[in-house]
Amino acid sequence: MESVLSRYENQITILSDYLEEFPETDEPVWILGRQHHLNTDKSKLLLDISARLWFTYRRKFSPIGGTGPSSDAGWGCMLRCGQMMLAQALICRHLGRDWQWEKHKKQPEEYHRILRCFLDRKDCCYSIHQMAQMGVGEGKSIGEWFGPNTVAQVLKKLALFDEWNSLAVYVSMDNTVVIEDIKKMCWSPPQSSSAAHSSAHLHRSALGRNKNAAGFCTGWKPLLLIIPLRLGINHINPVYIDAFKECFKMPQSLGALGGKPNNAYYFIGFLGNELIYLDPHTTQSFVDSEENGTVDDQSFHCQQAPHRMKIMNLDPSVALGFFCKEECDFDNWCSLVQKEILKQQSLRMFELVQKHPPHWPPFIPPTKPEVTTTGAELIESTDKLFEVEEEFEILSV
């Protein structure tokens, strides 16, 4: 009986009052750059949503830091939303935006490798353990709630240790995206061959993965662009709504982090004036990988109609996400921003500028700190990881 109950603990449980179906309407639904029509392809829409990786509260994982919490229920929702946004970037990176997930269908190795990055273990590069401990360097105690900007800064630092995905993570400052800085960062020269070989060897031996860890280090580094914003004082300013919705139409869209105070959601699209989101506030049991490296993924996909909320109920502190695999994707994104976002003459949601502002400190692309071990083992303490804080890259919200 106990085994049956434990098996069902991992099943998705959503209260009936959250299962509101989509209304009958001719308005299109936009999900991460893809348009759906409810009257003709509702099932396709739900398949698209269920393909997104869904990270929720978990319990019964190893204590964070050895003696810390073994569950993130009540405090980890924004970290889980950050995981979901990053996971969507990795899906686009390795499998493509149009990849679909089907229950019980065999998935490619890249998919399971992506999932393993987020398992609740200290040796997984984007685990709740790594994110919570890296948050200490951002002034957040383990078990303390994060805001969108803090999660963005944590992901930027953790990505430096992720050699397999080799992402360039840019977090905008002061509502300004600088094209020159992004291109400088994404075209940064790779490590020397000896350093790359040594680092790859360490990473493989410690984590047993990343067979070609340095294989993606040449040319344009895929870009994860995160734009923390404050779209009002206490409530979202209606002047920003149209521009905010336009971001979900862009093919580079990774959605948005936000929600309500101490209640974070991962927003993936909209219908009319309602935002569509994945909710991390379901507590499930810890899931580990199998001996063959695969992951029982049933609890990592939301297989019900998603939640919706009125856009005016959104807390004004948000973070937009975009993924540009190639330079041409970034150039296209810049064109779309110029056309759809910057057409607003007053109260623009954010600015896109070509050159680095002269009154800012010089932009130096972040690099992995010199260490003698891997990131997974290094981030037991963040005291000396980033002693010099790059203040101009941190947005105060």
Give the residue numbers marked as catalytic: 77, 279, 281
Element (H, E) at 335: helix 327-336
- Measured in whole angstroms, the distance separating CA 220 from the mean position of its chain's CA atoms is 20
Whole-angstrom Cα distance, residue 129 to residue 377?
Answer: 11
Whole-angstrom Cα distance, residue 395 to residue 397?
Answer: 6
- Burial level of 350, CB count in 10 A (0-12/13-18/19+)? buried
Residue from 272, 269, 258, 380 nearest 314 by CA: 258
Q: How many residues appear in the chain?
A: 397
Instruction: Tell me the sheet residues that pair with 94.
Output: none
Whole-angstrom Cα distance, residue 256 to residue 14?
Answer: 22
Handedness of CA 38, 44, 46, 48 (dihedral sign): negative
| C-beta separation of 202 from 373 below 8 A | yes
Whole-angstrom Cα distance, residue 60 to residue 121?
Answer: 11
Whole-angstrom Cα distance, residue 378 to residue 371?
Answer: 8
Tokens for 154, please give them. 């944590």
Whole-angstrom Cα distance, residue 41 to residue 301?
Answer: 20
